[in-house]
Structure 1
Amino acid sequence: MEEKRLWELIAKKAAGEASGQELEELNQLLEKFPEAMYSIETIGHYWNAQKDQQAIAEREEALAKHISRFQQEKSMVESAINNRRAIVRTLMIGTAAAAALTIIGVGAWYFKLNDRITKGTVKTLAASNGTKNHVTLPDGSKVWLNAGSTLTYEEGFGKKKTREVKLSGEGFFEVRHDEQHPFVIHTPQVDIRDIGTSFNVKAYPTDKTTEATLIEGAIEVTLINGDQSIVLSKPNEKVIVNNKAATTITKSALPPTDSLIAETAWMNDMLVFRNETFGDLAEKMERWYDVTITFQNESIKQHKFTGIFSNETIEQALNELKQIYSFKYKDSNNTIVIY
């Protein structure tokens, strides 16, 4: 019943019909079924286009291809696609309810299939753009994922000699220390080994740097090529690696305590930025608000901003930035063009 309700709420959110109470219920269900996040992103991708007959046909074909990659039994694929086509014909009449039924039907089927695959290989936990996720790993360690992030680990996590996870994006970790089973986080540029601690790791594939900030305890940060390793043992210490030339780890101590807020403020629903170019800030805002931002004037991207967003909508945030630096923007279906 909970899975059916989960996909019903996902459908209502996609159709823009979910109430505040229903969105809260959805977040609670996603804490129980975090593996559904990947499915949400995939299905949502095909339903964000305009709802005309041609777009529906294109989404149907694309979704069929996506499902087939995860399905080894041809008969199940054909059954799922045929069911979807029947519902799509109803959607062409123009009812939002039909869209909801389509997502529920395909989503619930894909959820069960994905769950079956996950148990045999890896477990994927995610926070899509515009959301955050809080999970407890099988060993009791806790992880908070920021928007646009994924965490994966193999089946049997905690039972092998080393507890290993892979992070793409940003996460805050409270690791349950176990000397007999070291905890290692793999990112594209560095490996981070826990020595009994809580810390923040930021490793978005599109960012210029990979960063690890120690909050409590100690961690060891090692370049993936093994050329350099640094141990952080004091709170507020931080390491930065340039993603384009990952040959050196730079270690620094954060300024006074108030700047530590910038490293973990996202956990308290605050987007903090200090002396950041508009281009870099726009990437953060894309993940934070689940929008796409483009610039018609490259020079605007170089202007720098310092500030905090908390409860602002994307429109309010942009209008606040306009008070600091003059620019114009237009918003069409969550695609924002700045000029």
Structure 2
Amino acid sequence: MSTDRYWLLLGKKKSGETSPEELEELAALSPEGDEDTLDALDRVWVAPMEPVPETFPSRNVWHRVQKSIYSEQARTGRGRLLRLGLALAAAGVLGAIVIGGWYMSGRKVQQASVDAHPMNQVVTQAGSKTKIALPDGTLVWLNGNSQLTYGNKSFGTEEREVTLSGEAFFDVVKNEKLPFIIHTKDMTIRVLGTAFTVRAYPRDKTVETVLIRGLVEITTRRDPERKIVLKPNEKIVVPVEAPESNSTAKAPARIPASPYSILRLGKDTATETVWMRSKLEFDNETFEELAPKMEKWYNIHIHFKDEKIRKRHFSGVIEKETLTQTLEAMKLSGHFEYEIKDNELWLREN
């Protein structure tokens, strides 16, 4: 048996990257009574901040397994999955909740507490999507530039709390004794088992939640005592509070004019999950509103040299078009010129 090939295929299986042909090949290569090896691999896969054990057949082979997984992710555009430094498995299917958020404390896990309360951390790169399965059976699909953090040993048994930066699609397993709680920078969402969308990227000026079915309870950072309950096909829009300044000057804090607003939508909420179908749709949006979406879609940074361009409106659908193809189409009605250098896009008046 080819030992290297066996471990490479086994590692890809753990990350959910194997094709049907590779699964057949792995089955043919697997020796009988291989349960101990699989148990050992599971322990390594979930052990936070631990070195590769010396008892593994080859430390070099294991590192090649990880390298193979990352190479495949880079080729397919899938994201990296990290467990505070160790590669995690990617598994699961399309879920029923879209969530987006930015929660800084998820990036501030203190090293001193890692051993006592190890955390799982899943990260996706720009332009990628990653599927995972949480220990309680909840399925998650992370959109690009996103990060999900949750407890290692306590999740699903003592609590079901996650922190999220970016955008995700969740299918939450119902458990009345352990509500599923999602923390973002400006909003906390409490779920028993339902379907809804949330968008709250760092550069967005609002956090938006649309309830598709079921029930969600929301609290905001500005008014944490008030519990807001959404009905199906309702959308809540919460203005993002300005970050606290380190300046010693006594400038007044910028407070949103209204704590939140609730809109009643039609029955068609498919546009809220359109990114799951690898499409970017926009309907009469200003270039300023569209720019953050295009930045995530194409992994670029957009700069406006002329302020008038920000207010021009566009409608359309982006699927497989390149950035240049999209810009050339938008120029027909937008009357602007552009320059692309590396990952920077500069826009100016025509």
Q: Tell me if TM exceeds 0.5.
A: yes
Residues 3-24 of structure 1, C-alpha deviation per residue, up to 9 Å, x if partnerless?
52553575698xxxxxxxx723
* 1:35 partner SS: strand
Aligned-residue RMSD, C-alpha: 3.0
Shift of 1:165: 0.7
Q: Which residue of 1 aligns with 2:208?
A: 211
- The 3-state SS of whatever aligns with 1:204 is coil
2:206 maps to amino acid: T
1:231 and 2:242 matched: no
Give the aligned residue type for 1:267.
Answer: M
Offset of residue 36 of structure 1: 7.4
Q: What SS class does the counterpart of residue 180 from structure 1 fall into? A: coil
The amino acid that maps onto 1:207 is D
The alignment's TM-score, normalised by the length of structure 1, stands at 0.66
Give 1:292 deviation, angstroms.
1.7
CA contact (8 A) 1:9 1:23 kept: no
1-structure distance, mates of 2:186, 2:339: 36
Change (3 A) 1:220 1:329: same
CA positional deviation for 1:175: 0.6
Amino acid at match of 2:64: K
In the superposition, relative to structure 1, how do residues 321 and 201 fare at CA in structure 2: closer, same or farther (>3 Å)?
Answer: same
| Structure-1 separation of matches of 2:220 and 2:317 | 32
Query: Match for residue 37 of structure 2?
Result: none
Structure 1 residue matching 2:140: 3-state secondary structure: strand
Q: TM-score, normalised by structure 2?
A: 0.64
The secondary structure found in structure 2 opposite 1:255 is coil
Unaligned runs of 5+ in 2: 1-7, 12-62, 88-109, 242-254
Structure with the larger RCO, 1 or 2 (CA within 8 Å, 6+ apart): 2
Query: Does 2:182 correspond to 1:135?
Result: no
Equivalent residue for 1:283?
Answer: 292
Q: Which residue of 2 aligns with 1:7?
A: 67
1:34 to 56, 81, 86: 81
Aligned counterpart, 2:172: 175
Measured at CA, do residues 159 and 5 of structure 1 come closer, stay the same or move farther in structure 2, by a change above 3 Å?
A: same
What secondary structure sits across from 2:120 in the alignment?
strand
The structure richer in helix per residue is 1
Aligned length: 251
The one-letter code sitting in structure 1 at the alignment partner of 2:163 is K
Structure 1, unmatched stretches of 5+, are 14-21, 41-69, 73-116
1:328 aligned residue (330, 334, 337): 337
Q: Is the 8 A contact 1:38 1:126 kept in 2?
A: no
Counterparts of 1:263 and 1:153, CA distance in 2: 25
Provide the C-alpha distance between the structure 1 equivalents of 2:289 and 2:64, rounded to a whole number of angstroms: 39
Identify if the C-alpha distance between structure 1 residues 12 and 232 changes in structure 2 by more than 3 Å, giving closer, same or farther: closer
- Does the CA-based 8 Å contact 2:210-2:235 persist in structure 1? yes
- Conserved? CA contact 2:83–2:119, under 8 Å: no
Task: Kindly state the Cα deviation for residue 274 of structure 1 after the two structures are TM-superposed.
Answer: 2.4
More displaced, 118-127 or 177-186? 118-127
- Of residues 172, 187, 198, the one that matches 2:195 is 198
Q: Which amino acid aligns with 2:228?
A: I
